Amino acid sequence: MEIPFTKLHGNGNDFVLIDEYGKIVVPDDMKGQFAAIYCNRRLGIGADGIIWLSKSEKSILRMRIIQPDESEAEMCGNGIRCLAKYAFDTGYVRESCTVETPAGEIGVAMMGYREDEFTATITLTPPKFDRKDIPATGDGEYKERIGEFDVYAVNTGVPHAVIIVDSVDAINVEAVAPAIRSHATFNKGANVNFIERTGTDSIRIRTFERGVEQETLSCGTGATASAAIVHKLGYTGETVRVDTRGGSLTIYLQDGVKMEGPATTVFSGKISF
């Protein structure tokens, strides 16, 4: 059978979107295998994950993300902007919507097109500063020494490890991140973010993503987790610019947590599956 798809990215964090708004296209028990095949950058389309868009009984839309290792991510900040762009362009939603995810209901405000670039603001679940998914009760409980690094734990819908370094360019991310990603501190594993403070309210970030099992060009929930840590430590104000390898995101930490950033459609096609 032929399956229509759309390839999108948020700051280089790329996804293949499958539209199941009207009907199920790929059975649930085959979605993992589908992701493993088509996320492959040599033998498939190439992506950091497959986004499945469908109707929701509790929100306007539902999003699931299956990663290249066949696991399902709880949430994805860049992915949800890609889903929002597709839904906006398709006419499923207009100015705003809510999206059901395994991490909870996420609000999306469409800012539309600015000089041909689509931008959206995502209202995320409040960050939890924790280890082993247990909320911290003291300042030190979300920080632990792992190897040569002080590692801060924060959950922004997805578990993250945040590490402040002098220079992100000096870090061999794919060499040092896997041990932290799988450390016993994180009983479900974690994305690993290395951050460099670049100004009063700005940071640079590089992220190794759980499920993708390599560094990606951008991670929305990782940018949010990193901004939340530097703000909690008193290094920044309530608005933080986060520069990823694929582009910039703005994180707002007042009146809840919001992330603003772009999404881009790359191409569409059909898969013979």
> Which residues, at least 6 apart from 254, have a Cβ–Cβ distance to it below 8 Å?
238, 239
CB atoms closer than 10 angstroms to residue 248 = 16
Q: Does this chain's domain 2-111+263-272 share its CATH topology with 130-255? A: yes
In this predicted structure, what is the pLDDT of residue 125? Answer: 87
Query: 2-111+263-272 is classed in which CATH architecture?
Result: Roll (3.10)
Q: Are 79 and 6 in contact (CB under 8 A)?
A: no
Say yes or no to pLDDT of 135 above 70.
no
Q: Are 54 and 86 in contact (CB under 8 A)?
A: no
Closest by CA position to 269, among listed 8, 21, 93, 29:
8
39 is catalytic: no
82 is catalytic: no
* pLDDT tier at 255, thresholds 50, 70, 90: confident
Q: Where are the domains of the chain?
A: 2-111+263-272, 130-255
Q: Which of 16-20, 130-134, 205-209 has the lowest mean pLDDT?
A: 130-134
Say yes or no to pLDDT of 228 above 90.
yes
Q: Count Cβ neighbours within 10 Å for each residue of 102-138 and write b for 16 or more, e otherwise.
A: ebeebebbbbeeeeeebbbbbbbbebbbbbeeeeeee
Percent with pLDDT over 70 in the chain = 96
Q: Which fold has domain 130-255?
A: Diaminopimelate Epimerase; Chain A, domain 1 (3.10.310)
- Catalytic one among 39, 76, 82, 97? 76
Task: Give dist(CA 115, CA 10) in Å, integer.
Answer: 16
Q: What is the pTM of this model?
A: 0.93
Please, what sign has the CA dihedral across residues 156, 158, 161, 162?
A: negative
- Catalytic one among 39, 82, 97, 219? 219
* pLDDT tier at 134, thresholds 50, 70, 90: very low
